[in-house]
């Protein structure tokens, strides 16, 4: 199975900060990567698919980049509603595998 | 827009079978979707369990494959998860999710999720 390594596992940031989360695949996965936001007690929500495509209805402050093994999720200006845990998911090959998650907390 | 709703027992005894269903509304279970199960142990990350297409084609996580069955009930417009020989490590929130064929073609996955249901394995 492809291993997805996310970093950092947690970060503290202030409202208005630019935040970057990375995900590294154990082998090349083209651009078959999605990013999800999960708030406590809720289901994950798809933000980005195909590494850089913004899911319908998701604010443009979220952006994704990367291809092959290294990927990045950027939140351009952190807002209170963005404090959550973020996961990457590779859908290049079975089994689908998630990164370990990045918890974004208020500084 | 597809909507998903999980249901099933919240408590299962060790060595027994965990059975959950996911009711689909807003479209037919026979539509162009892959229907998935994902789980999340308390305080931990997400694990993909497997998926099914309405034709019966399935893909399972090898880590669970020997204990998992995912099936579709077209008459009730739902799909199901069975996980046998459960242990405490199977305690988790179980989510059903879907990926439209259109989303797959665009390179995405798991774009629609149910709210999740907590299952505790304990005697």
Q: Is the pLDDT of residue B14 over 90?
A: yes
pLDDT digits over A29-81, tens only?
999 999 999 999 999 999 999 999 999 999 999 999 999 999 999 999 999 99
Place of tokens 């959550």: A84
pLDDT of amino acid A66: 98
Average pLDDT, chain A: 97
More confident residue, A75 or A106: A75
| Cβ separation A53–B46 shorter than 8 A | no
Indicate the pLDDT class of residue A107, thresholds 50, 70 and 90.
Answer: confident
From CA B100, how far away is CA B60, in angstroms rounded? Answer: 18
A98 inside 8 A of chain B by CB: yes
Nearest to A31 among B47, B107, B116 (CB): B107
Number of Cα atoms under 13 Å in the Cβ half of residue A2:
27
Residue B117 CB coordination number (10 Å): 19
Q: What percent of chain B has pLDDT over 90?
A: 91
| Pair type for strands B117-121 and B11-12 | parallel
- A103 vs B: CB within 8 A: no
Answer whether residue B9 shows pLDDT above 90: yes
Q: Average pLDDT in the B2-18 region?
A: 97
Q: Which of B61, B95, B111 sits opposite A95 (nearest CB)?
A: B61
* DSSP H helical ranges for chain A: none
A48: closest chain B residue by CA: B108
Tell if the CB–CB gap between B106 and A50 is shorter than 8 Å.
yes
Going by pLDDT thresholds of 50, 70 and 90, the confidence category of residue B106 is confident
The model's pLDDT over B52-96, given as tens digits with 9 standing for 90+, comes to: 999 999 999 999 999 999 999 999 999 999 999 999 999 999 999
In sequence order, what are the residues at sequence separation of 6 or more whose Cβ sits closer than 8 angstroms to the Cβ of residue A9?
Answer: A100, A101, A102, A103
Return mean pLDDT, chain B. 96
């Amino acid at each position: 199975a492809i291993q997805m390594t996310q970093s950092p596992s947690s970060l503290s940031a202030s409202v208005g900060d630019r935040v970057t989360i990375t995900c590294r695949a154990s082998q090349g996965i083209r651009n078959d990567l999605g990013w999800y936001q999960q708030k406590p007690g809720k289901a994950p929500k798809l933000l980005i698919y195909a590494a850089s495509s913004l899911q319908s209805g998701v604010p443009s402050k979220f952006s994704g980049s990367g291809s092959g093994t290294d990927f990045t999720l950027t939140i351009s200006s952190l807002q209170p509603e963005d404090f959550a845990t973020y996961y990457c998911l590779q859908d290049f090959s079975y089994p689908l595998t998630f990164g370990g998650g990045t918890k974004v907390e208020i500084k | 827009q597809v909507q998903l709703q999980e249901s099933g027992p919240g408590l299962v005894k060790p060595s027994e079978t965990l059975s959950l269903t996911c009711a689909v509304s807003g479209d037919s279970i026979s539509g162009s979707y892959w229907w998935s199960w994902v789980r999340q142990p308390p305080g931990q990350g997400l694990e993909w369990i497997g998926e099914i297409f309405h034709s019966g084609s399935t893909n399972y996580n090898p880590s669970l494959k020997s204990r998992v069955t995912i099936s579709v009930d077209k008459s009730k417009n739902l799909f199901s998860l069975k996980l046998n020989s459960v242990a405490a490590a199977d305690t988790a929130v179980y989510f059903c999710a879907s990926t439209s064929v259109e989303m797959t073609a665009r390179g995405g996955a798991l774009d629609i999720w149910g709210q999740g249901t907590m299952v505790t394995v304990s005697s």
